[in-house]
């Protein structure tokens, strides 16, 4: 099903109309051992992939589309940790449409627990006015990437994984337990 969806998305042509073909939205979330990015891409993503790999214009091979999409994501959405190491892109999954025929939603999965820097140049190869809106869920910050500002850095204090901060909840719990134990004895 994923292959059929990608092929139909990429082969659909410019006949669809989008409200903003030069805007894409990305929501970053930390999960155990991985970073997920929900990507909301306009129909014009097809043009970016064909520009990236012109052979796709005449191809109907689903695997070629999927491989091109994966390679394009690897080269245009780069997450780096605090040591400057690039986090490995694992895979993508198709998400259900939210009632908009002019967009496609994907879940992009990266290996890792945190990141400090993001370079997001998706669709910059076809539109110099492309704007990518990037939302970081755990600290409620938002960043834009454009052809003039292709990357952004999170503040060091915002990098900690959610899993690294759970211990902070233990301290108040332990205090309450100690108070209750002392009041009982």
What is the model's pLDDT at position 167? 53
pTM (global) more than 0.85: no
What is the model's pLDDT at position 172? 72
CA–CA separation, 53 and 103 (whole Å): 21
CB atoms within 10 A of CB 182: 8
91 DSSP β-pair partners: 109
- Find the distance separating the first CA and the last CA of the chain, reported in whole Å: 63
Query: What is the 3-state secondary structure of the chain?
Result: CHHHHHHHHHHCHHHCCCCCCCEEEEEEEEECCEEEEEEEEECCHHHHHHHHCHHHHHCCCHHHHHHHHHHHHHHHEEEECCCCCECCEEEEEECCCCCCCCEEEEEEEEECCCCCEEEECCCCCCCCCCEEEEEECCCCEEEEECCCCCEEECCHHHCCCHHHCCHHHHHHHHHHHHHHHHHHC
pLDDT in tens, the chain (185 residues): 444 444 444 444 433 334 588 999 999 999 988 999 999 999 999 999 999 999 999 988 889 999 999 999 999 999 999 899 999 999 999 888 665 557 889 999 999 988 899 999 999 999 999 999 999 998 899 999 999 999 999 976 555 444 455 555 667 766 777 787 788 87
What is the model's pLDDT at position 96? 81
């Amino acid at each position: 099903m994923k292959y059929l969806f990608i092929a139909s998305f990429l082969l659909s042509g410019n006949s669809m109309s989008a409200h903003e073909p030069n805007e894409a939205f990305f929501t970053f979330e930390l999960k155990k051992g991985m970073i997920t990015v929900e990507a909301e891409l306009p129909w014009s993503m097809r043009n970016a992939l064909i520009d990236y790999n012109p052979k796709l214009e005449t191809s109907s091979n689903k695997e070629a589309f999927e491989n091109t999409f994966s390679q394009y994501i690897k080269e245009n959405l780069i997450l780096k940790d605090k040591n400057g190491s690039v986090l490995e892109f694992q895979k993508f999954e198709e998400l259900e449409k939210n009632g908009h025929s002019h967009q496609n939603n994907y879940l992009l999965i990266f290996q890792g627990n945190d990141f400090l820097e993001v370079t997001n140049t998706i669709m910059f190869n076809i539109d110099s006015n492309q704007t990518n809106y990037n939302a970081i869920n755990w600290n409620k910050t938002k960043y834009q990437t454009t052809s003039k500002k292709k990357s952004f850095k999170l503040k060091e204090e915002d990098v900690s994984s959610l899993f690294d901060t759970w211990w902070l909840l233990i301290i108040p719990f332990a205090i309450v337990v100690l108070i209750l134990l002392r009041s009982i004895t």
